[in-house]
Structure formats: C-alpha cells, structure tokens
Chains A and B, each alone.
Chain A
Amino acid sequence: MKKYLFVLRKPAHSGAQVQEMLDIILTTAAFDQQVGILLLDDGVFQLKNGQQPDIAGMKDIAAIFKALEIYEVHDVYTEVESLRERGLKPKDLCLPVREFYRKDIASLMKRYDVVFSG
C-alpha cells in the first residue's frame, strides 16, 4: 500500500479535467490505497457551496466530493492562504477540511509516497 496525496489547483468547472481527476482519486481509493486530497489556489473553489454547474453544462463536482466518504477518503486539506485570498471561509465549503498554513504544506507532502498533481 502507498499513501497518495492529490493536489488539486484548478477551479471547479475548468473543462473535464476536474471530473477526470476525481475519477483517478476514486479509483485509487477503490484499490484500498490511503488517499489524501489537498486543495490549493483556485482548487478551493471545487468545494464551494451553492455551485450551479448545469448552467455551464457541467456535472456537479461538489456532489462527487461528497461521495468520497463512501470510499473512506476522509483526509481533505486546504491552505489557509488560498481560502483567505479568495474571501472564502471553511463554512463556505461542502466538506469539513483541515487547514494548513502555506509554510506547513511541504511537510504535509513529505508524509505521502506519491504526490499527484492535477
């Protein structure tokens, strides 16, 4: 078993990429690997409450995130500065997240075997 950290930096509806990354995350979790997710930069918007993706012809990304629990993915992290720079608070997000300061992100990454950018 390996420990995977998926680092998501794209906004919620930037084409099919977000959905295709979530497919990798769900497949990795289905293979019984340990999975963590880190939302950085515009990636924090992927968890934003109140998305209306149907207007943009997209799937509801936030709903896929809620399915992560079924796959026993509980470690969802975000960066204090990324939220703050975008005027977001943890209560604006659809999942409970653990916040890390930017200075601590490198040591978080060191805890994982594979850091998967997407």
Chain B
Amino acid sequence: MKFAIQINNSPYQSNTGHTAYQFIKAVLAQGHEVFRVFFYQDGIYHAFKYATPPDDELQFTAQWSELARQYQLDLVVCISAAQRRGLLCADEAKRQGKMDNDLAEGFRISGLGQLVEATLEADRFIVFG
C-alpha cells in the first residue's frame, strides 16, 4: 500500500512527530511504500539543521535525515510555513536577500502542490497533529 503522511506539530510541542516517525518505520518494515512525508504548520521545526538537543535526548532531526538516507524517503517542507517561521534553505535565503541555510540533510523545500499530489497518489493519507 502507498502512504502519504502530513506532520503538523513541532518536536517539543507534542510527540505526534515521533509517533509519525515510528509509524513510517513500521510501514516501511512491512514492505509498504511511503510516497511522501509533508511537514506543515509547526511540523516544519523537524527540519531545522541546527537544533541541538542534549546528547541524552532523542535527536529528532538527525533521525529523519537518517531515515531519508536509508529509504530514499521524500521529506518535503512547506515553503510558506517554513518562511513564516524563519526556516530558509540557502537558495531561498539568497533570493530574499538574507544569509541563512537552515535545512537539514534529506529534507527539501517545496509548495502545497506537493501535498495535494501526495494525497492524490497515495492509497492512504494520514495527518499527524
């Protein structure tokens, strides 16, 4: 089965992001496909490269990057939600006349069209948060 996932909460606002992470791992382990993970609203905080939690806590962003590398997952961050909250990739920062490069490895920034496409392609679409 083909899944599309949306995540709306930040890592420290609620545990829904981590629940989504565990769900995706379970889905992939059972041989299903995850077409896309779309980070929206405060969910975009999962993609901040410079999040630096203490060593004895879960490294949420690093976990996503590792999962993306392992399974070639498509992790998409909504551009308007990201810009509103100060997350800019190097290209976009340059276009806005700013100096920044916040996007962690394995994520890409794109628009809401990518979310609609994912819901059209998937057999199941699940929103976390």
Contacts and interface: CB of A to CB of B under 8 A. Distances in A.
Given A16-B41, A117-B127, A27 B115 contact: yes
Where chain A touches its partner, the secondary structure class is mixed
Interface in A1-43: 2, 4, 16-17, 20, 23-24, 27-28, 31, 33
B40 interface: yes
A20 B41 contact: yes
Contacts of A4: 119
Contacts of B40: 20, 24
Contacts of B127: 116-118
A2 B41 CA distance: 24
Q: Which of A4, A16, A24, A116 has the most CB of B within 10 A?
A: A24
A27 B80 CA distance: 13
A17 B41 contact: yes
Given A17-B41, A116-B127, A24 B115 contact: yes
A67 interface: no
A88 to B, nearest CB: 27
B44 to A, nearest CB: 11
Nearest to B127: A117
Contacts of B8: 17
A20 B81 contact: yes
Contacts of A28: 116, 119
Contact of A31 (B41, B80, B116, B125): B116
A58 interface: no
A118 B84 CA distance: 19
Contacts of A116: 119, 125, 127
B41 A23 contact: no
Given A16-B41, A27-B112, A117-B127, A2 B119 contact: yes
A38 to B, nearest CB: 15
B113 interface: yes
Contacts of A17: 8, 41
Interface of A: 2, 4, 16-17, 20, 23-24, 27-28, 31, 33, 114, 116-118
